[in-house]
Amino acid sequence: MTVEKMTEIKKRLKRLTEIIFVFIIFFWRAFIRLKGNEKATEEKRAILLRKTLEKLGSVFIKFGQLLSLRPDFLPIFYCQELFFLLENVPPFSYDEVVKTFQKEFSSRPDSLFKTFIKKPVAAASFGQVHEAYLKTGEKVAIKIQRPQIKEIVERDIGLMKLIAKIVDLFPFGPNKLSPLIKEFENWTKEELDYLVEANYTDEFYQKTKNSIDSITAPSVYKNFCSQKILTAQYIEGITISSILLALKNNDHIILKNLKQMGFSKEKIAIKILKGSIKQIYIDGFFHADPHPANIIFTKNKGLVYIDFGIVGKLTRKERIACLRYVRSVLYEDTENSFDALIHLCDISKVTDLNSFKKEHDKIVKKTLKLFNEGKIKGTSQIIGKKLMETLKILQKYQAVVPPNTLRYFRTVATIESIVLSLNPNLELNSMADKFRNISIVNLIKE
């Protein structure tokens, strides 16, 4: 065995010990010190989980962001708490920035740009952002990948796979951890290739740049993009995650600035909802990681989506099936909703279709009964909750859900959660009507 391999094994063992120790502390604090299942207790546990993931660093923070999109895997208040994950990571040095530029472009940043600000404006788990000006004068944001991040990600995900195999041996519920880790692995692979992100961002920008609803993406400068560097239009504004945090903590300074910008949480909630409906059902191309940190509210009262590491694409046939499914659920049409669902999935491995349908119909009727009786209020989800419960049934009966259908389910659930977090008093009948009123004619567009 080589010295390098021995060193790597020691690093992995040290990291595994750290992960296990941190989670032991979490379980002790969350389930031994905290007793009961009251809402207040569960909310405290959710905060402890967020802080635990933050302590374990970049890869676990990213994993927590994925978990925040999975109300089928965690209770909704856990998902909402994970929206507030903080990436308190130090920036890497300007010398490392120069090395990356020389490797990717055979040139220093101060040679490529008219002005390049050495101090980053933001540092995150996988990279950091610098402000710069092109020689033609445009202000840009340059995202540079963190050195050795691929190696760190591979190491941590390898350990997460090992832990997941052990956890899955115990009957903690219908959801297994291993498939989620595999999904996370695929997600991070896409996110670590900035050329993929550049292409997705540009595609979204081209589709939305003339949009009347003021929802778009930054324009991309592909001549200054590579697998480790992404250069795009600099967007001035405040993220929805910062807005939600300010609302939660009653941060008077940020709220005052938002008021001066003409911010209305009610109007922005509806704008996000309408924009998402257009992305998914009309365009068939949508941001599949609409985490609140990836949506910026701008001075012109518009919304700009960033970080297109992962997107969803739906064909016309898939869009019609998705819309049929949601509308049928809202009309309590169990026959049509089930028919649409099986058109979205591969059910060849489902051995008991009758039981599968009975469970599906039961969820539809239960959710709509509560909705029609007015028992679903405030931040309670309707459509997203139904989609996530359906996903659990699909997993239980071993139906195969295509990646883009899975992304659709989670995106709808996430958007609904953001909308209701911004405006808990939103009339739920009004939100449901947005889905009921989509014209099938509009879906003819390819």
Last residue of a domain, one of 70, 86, 102: 86
402 lies in some domain? yes
Write down the pTM of the prediction. 0.81
What one-character DSSP code corresponds to residue 227?
S
Q: Which of 86, 104, 125 is the last residue of a domain?
A: 86
Q: How many domains does the chain have?
A: 2
Q: Which domain holds residue 38?
A: 1-86
163-188 residue pLDDT tens: 999 988 887 666 788 888 998 898 88
19, 56 in Cβ contact below 8 A? yes
In a domain, 276, yes or no: no
Question: What is the percentage of the chain residues whose pLDDT exceeds 90?
Answer: 44
224 falls within a domain: no
Ramachandran bin of 63, using left for φ above 0, alpha for ψ from -120 to 50, beta for the remaining angles:
alpha
Residue 125, pLDDT > 60, answer yes
Domain membership flag for residue 392: yes
Does residue 390 belong to any structural domain of this protein?
A: yes
Is 379 inside a domain boundary?
yes
Q: Which residue among 67, 86, 105 closes a domain?
A: 86
Q: Are strands 237-239 and 295-298 parallel, antiparallel or unpaired?
A: antiparallel
Q: How far apart are CA 142 and CA 234, in angstroms?
A: 8
* 372 pLDDT tier (thresholds 50, 70, 90): low
Q: DSSP per residue over 189-212, as a string?
A: HHHT-HHHHHHHHHHHHHHHTT-T
User: For 398-406, what is the mean pLDDT?
Assistant: 84
| CA distances to 63, 140, 179 from 182, in Å | 11, 34, 5
